[in-house]
Amino acid sequence: MDKEIKSLFNDELLNDLKKQSGIKNELRLLRGFENLVYEFEENGKPYIYRVSHTQRRTRDEIKGEIEFLSFLYNNEIPVSRALTFKNSSEISEVFKKDKNGNEISFAGVIFEKAKGTKPDKDKFTGSVIRKVGEVTGLMHKLTQEFIPSDEKFRRQTWEKDYIHLANNNFEDSDINIRNKWDENFSSLKNIKLDGEHCGLIHTDIHAGNFFVDEDENITIFDFDDCCYYYFVNDIAMSTYYYVMMEKSKKDKTEKAKFFLNEYLNGYNKVYNAQESWFKYFPLMLKQREFVVYLVLKRTMDEAWLNGDGKEFMNEYKFNLENDIPYLNEDLTV
């Protein structure tokens, strides 16, 4: 969440949202990156409460996310659906003016808490990777049947978020990176967004957005970024984050090969990942590098950017300015 917008949110607004949503018990903040995510209990059962600002997601877009989750859940896809408590609002909303007098609203939604825990290194086994691939393939197969109840609830195509991110976060000193961003964006725009290779997808399936239970069943959550995009983007994003912490490109590439082999074994059981999709893989990996760089610049404080995160950010900047691929070019799928 943008630092300035986050500073507008306070306990009074949170309590108002809680009241509208029918939440009586205390909220515990879990994280506050793009949204404020809380956990609470009701009748001994854990739930998630997400607060987002509607400059980033309109009320109708949030409703579209909720409808898509319900569709997937009703078709037996393991996702954390949105819930409504008795006599309460599906989407709660409060309003606040910023320093320029512009009205900003914050929206609250209750979600089921996923079963299990975050997959750490020991839990992120080959069988779990195959399960992630299989569930993603099932979502891609089903999404072609999804129709929102009203056109106003239709989620956006992928360009909107990326244009907004670029226009609001590049600085004058980023001119070289901005030029590279524009090249990447133009290349992706040239891919035709129709047919059996695209639809409404999650776009951000990684170890922070699904849980694994004792039987290695997974539950996917955080569909906040869902949009109409190419199916291979989901595959690329899961790969990107799986290898992200490896230091060398060689190690990243070797780990990516292992991941993709397991992932596609699961995916291709239920849907066909076409070979032609993967010519766009480097473009999508590079696109995510741009996104990570800009989102960190927007959300992290100066102490981190000039301290612990300085080396990380400088490496990203160098790679983006110099067209250094995320993985070795000899990656084969």
Q: What is the CATH number of the domain that holds 49?
A: 3.30.200.20
The reply to whether 293 and 181 lie within a common domain is yes
The reply to whether 198 and 62 lie within a common domain is no
Does residue 118 belong to any structural domain of this protein? no
Does residue 24 belong to any structural domain of this protein? yes
Q: In sequence order, what E strands does 176-267 have? A: 198-201, 210-212, 218-220, 227-230
Does residue 296 belong to any structural domain of this protein? yes
Which uninterrupted H or E stretch holds 45? strand 45-53
The reply to whether 139 and 227 lie within a common domain is yes
Q: Provide the domain count of the chain.
A: 2
Does residue 222 belong to any structural domain of this protein? yes
The reply to whether 174 and 261 lie within a common domain is yes
CATH code where residue 246 lies? 3.90.1200.10
Q: What's the CA gap between 270 and 138, in Å, rounded?
A: 6
The reply to whether 160 and 91 lie within a common domain is no
Instruction: At 98, list the tokens.
Output: 């910023």
The reply to whether 108 and 130 lie within a common domain is no
Instruction: At 181, list the tokens.
Output: 């961003």
pLDDT at 31: 84
Closest CA to 210 of 157, 260, 136: 136
The reply to whether 93 and 211 lie within a common domain is no
Of 90, 112, 134, the position where a domain reaches its end is: 112
Does residue 328 belong to any structural domain of this protein? no
Does residue 120 belong to any structural domain of this protein? no
pLDDT in tens, 155-166: 999 998 899 889
Q: Domain range holding 35?
A: 3-112
Phi, psi of 137 (to 5 degrees): -60, -40
The reply to whether 168 and 57 lie within a common domain is no
Quick one: DSSP state of residue 107?
A: E
pLDDT tens digits, the chain, 333 residues: what are they? 666 777 888 999 999 999 999 999 999 999 877 899 999 999 999 999 999 998 889 999 999 999 999 999 999 999 999 999 988 889 999 998 888 888 889 999 999 999 999 998 888 999 999 999 999 999 999 999 999 999 999 999 999 889 988 998 888 888 999 999 999 999 999 998 887 899 999 999 999 999 999 999 999 999 999 999 999 999 999 999 999 989 888 999 999 999 999 999 999 999 999 999 999 999 999 999 999 999 888 888 888 888 988 988 999 999 999 999 999 876 655
